[in-house]
Chains A and B, each alone.
Chain A
Amino acid sequence: MPGSSSRSARRRAPGPRPPALLLVPAALGLGFLLLPLAALVLRAPWGDLARHLTSPQAGEALRLSLVSASAATVVCVVLGVPLAWVLARVPFRGRALVRALVTVPLVLPPVVGGVALLLLLGRRGLVGRHLDAWFGVSLPFTTAAVVVAEAFVAMPFLVVAVEGALRGADPRFEEAAASLGASRWTTFRRVTLPMVAPGVAAGTVLCFARALGEFGATITFAGNFPGVTRTMPIAVYLALETDPDAAVVLSLVLLAASVAVLVALRGRWVAAALTGGGSAS
């Protein structure tokens, strides 16, 4: 009976049983990561879902979050892709240092980022005071401040992803373009960018996800004004005090967004970019 024999062979295939000393903490770790999410899903007021989602407060926060995260993502792409290109393609002194500095916001506590933004762009900040004096522009506590805070925290994700894709892409294609008469800009636009498009897409998705979930820098730099700076994460935090069910529903929405990002990242085109260098091969 080939069927049953192959099945038993398959069951034996993993070899000796892994030691309990590793298996038990592994299982605990898995539970630790997944059980809170399970609790969120289990305790959600499924019956009232529609009512909570259509409440003005939730709608406002959701709209603001989508708008500000999208705007922040656009800022990150417009500034981050060229920055990644310079880091990957232009040799200069101190490049390793700059590369390290770019990733600081990745590890910096977001609250600290918010404070730093206040000190630069706040009404009495290094640049902010001139913005106020010359243009009458005050950035903090506006939707624009939300975008700035989110972009500050999210841009390193994009730069790291795009730079990785650029470094994985064969620069000889760019030499080929140059030898065919293409300027560096034409080469970038018509050869480099299309070849690292999967990396840019992956970076954009990661960047958007990070911007959508931003809390610390936003509340520090932009504050908490309904409809202006109160994004989803801030709304969740506040609702927990007054209307826990609404907090759970908003959390579910953010969870769903995260899952959507994961699915996008596991998609073939994005996964290829993250694991090694776009379509260059």
Chain B
Amino acid sequence: MGGGRPHGRGVGVVSGPADGVASGRVDDDGAGLRASLRVAWGGFALDADLDVAPGRVLAVLGPNGAGKTTALRAIAGLTPLTGGAVAHDGEVWDDPAVGVFVPPADRAAATVFQDYLLFPHLDALENVAFGLRARGVGRQEARRRAAEWLERVGLADHTRARPGELSGGQQQRVALARALVTSPRVLLLDEPLAALDAATRADVRADLRRHLAGFAGATVLVTHDPLDAMILADDLAVLEGGRVTQRGAPADVARAPRTDYVARLAGLNLYRGVADGGRVRLAAGGEIVVGHPARGEVFVAFSPGAVALYRTPPDGSPRNVWRGRVVGAEHRGDTVRVRLDGAPPVLADITPAALADLRLGVGDEVWAAVKANETDVYPA
């Protein structure tokens, strides 16, 4: 068994500082968001440190009940801390030890809630203008800036629509505009895509990615969908049972999962590339033929279970075949996850029997194959 599974389950950075992970952490001068979240509530305890530098996006990935939403609420000030502290740019927002608590309305943070919570009695324009009006901006000016933001999220034609008259994707855009129009320093996104159907999700995700790239503040994104985390975030923290079990760059976490949850969820082959019809040239090297034609910047994803390994070049239906070198193999329940280095590097889940048949060891050269129709393509 090559590779082996790292034993540490505690908090730690997967890659060394040289890989750029450290740049996502808050510097010593305290710029950005520094959150040491301790919330005890009934039998549940949240104990997580989440630091985000300005301009960075931190995804908090975890199963239901892991405390993700509680973490977000604590940063927003909707759930007071019982320990630890939240500070932004050196300004303390919540520190029970010294009795400091800045109410939600006075924090430079804006939240996009999971079900958006658009005010049902206000139209899109008034929803977006709400935060400005609440902060004392005049009616005309607030409406002008709100209209500007609605145009930016592509809803210039829907300013007078009530939330009930908008589709899920449109509501999500209104919620995003409503949060960003106030120029927050911290943006909190609670499962921003969970309420959308699969068809809308890819488009909204791509738009969200664009808006996050243009956002100068710190973003915390809570999600249970590894794809959201991989595509939208610069840094990833995995939250399980109220604790951070792994953190690092999304790609690193996916390739070196430390817990079964991460392995199951985040163990995803995900690549950036440029599509030209049915072919995608990958940034990581190599080319993938995909099932659905696309153009421009895209993400290509497929599960490790979709990858077959061969000792000799296979014939027949698989459209994507490339050479790789085995760099690790770990047992995960009924399957073995094999890590290959190649163009592109890839994770493959195979049965122990197949592993035995192939007589694979670390350093061996094998052929990886993926059918085009097993791949998903997302606009970037």
Interface centre among A172, A173, A176, A186 (most CB of B within 10 A): A176
Question: B182 near A181 (CB under 8 angstroms)?
Answer: yes
For this complex, 8 residue pairs linking A to B, each with C-beta atoms less than 8 Å apart, are A170-B117, A179-B76, A179-B110, A180-B130, A180-B179, A183-B105, A191-B119, A194-B122
The residues of B that contact A170 with a CB separation of less than 8 Å are 117
Is residue A182 within 8 Å, beta carbon to beta carbon, of the partner chain? yes
CA distance A197 to B113 in the complex (A): 24
Interface of A is mostly: helix
Residue of A nearest to B121 (CB): A194
The answer, yes or no, to whether B291 is at the interface (CB within 8 Å) is no
Closest 3 CB pairs of A and B: A180-B131, A182-B134, A176-B117
- Chain A: minimal CB distance from B150 (Å): 16
**Contacting pair A178 B104 (CB below 8 A):** yes
List B residues 70-129 near A (Cβ within 8 Å).
76-78, 103-107, 109-111, 113, 117, 119-122
Task: Please state if A181 and B117 are interface contacts (CB–CB under 8 Å).
Answer: no
Shortest Cβ distance from A178 into chain B, in angstroms? 4
Kindly state whether residue A48 has any CB partner on chain B within 8 Å.
Answer: no
Query: In the complex, which residues 148-200 of chain A have their Cβ closer than 8 Å to any Cβ of chain B?
Result: 170, 172-173, 175-183, 186, 190-191, 194-195, 197
* Residues on A facing B (Cβ under 8 Å): 170, 172-173, 175-183, 186, 190-191, 194-195, 197, 279-280
| A181, A182, A186, A194: residue with the most chain B Cβ atoms closer than 10 Å | A181
Say yes or no: B105 contacts A182, CB within 8 Å.
yes
Known contacts: A182-B134, A190-B130. The answer to whether A279 contacts B121 by CB under 8 A is yes
Contact of B117 among A173, A182, A190 (CB under 8 A): A173
Name the one of B78, B120, B121, B178 contacting A178, with C-beta atoms under 8 angstroms.
B78
Bound complex: CA of A177 vs CA of B111, how far in Å?
10
Q: Is the CB–CB distance between A177 and B134 below 8 Å? A: yes
Task: List chain B residues, Cβ under 8 A from A172.
Answer: 113, 117
Residue among A170, A177, A179, A279 facing the most chain B CB atoms (10 A cut-off): A179
Whether B130 lies near A177 (C-beta < 8 A) is yes
* Total contacts A-B at CB 8 Å: 64
Interface centre among B104, B109, B110, B111 (most CB of A within 10 A): B104
- Chain B: residues with CB nearer than 8 A to chain A? 76-78, 103-107, 109-111, 113, 117, 119-122, 130-131, 133-135, 178-179, 182
Checking A175, A182, A183, A197 against B130 with a beta-carbon cut-off of 8 angstroms, the contacting residue is: A182
Contact among A186, A190, A195 with B120 in the assembled complex (CB-CB below 8 Å): A195
Task: Provide the bound-state CA to CA distance between A197 and B119, in Å.
Answer: 14
Instruction: State in angstroms the CA–CA spacing of A279 and B182 once bound together.
Output: 26
From residue B165, how far is it (CB to closest CB) to chain A in Å?
14
Q: Is the CB of B134 within 8 A of A180?
A: yes
Contacts of A181 in B (CB 8 A): 105-106, 131, 134-135, 182
Compute how far the CA of A194 lies from the CA of B110 in the bound complex, rounded to whole angstroms. 23
**CB < 8 Å neighbour of A195 from B77, B113, B121:** B121
Q: How far is the CA of A194 from the CA of B106 in the complex (A)?
A: 24
The chain A residue sitting closest to B78, CB to CB, is A175
Q: Please indicate the chain A residues that have their CB under 8 angstroms from the CB of B130 in the complex.
A: 177, 180, 182, 190
Residues from chain B with a CB closer than 8 A to the CB of A178 are 78, 103-105
Chain A residues near B131: list those with CB within 8 A: 180-182
**New A-B contacts (4) at CB < 8 Å, excluding given A176-B119, A279-B121:** A180-B178, A181-B105, A181-B182, A190-B133
Return the chain A residue nearest B106 by Cβ: A181
Contact of B111 among A179, A195, A280 (CB under 8 A): A179
CA distance A172 to B76 in the complex (A): 13
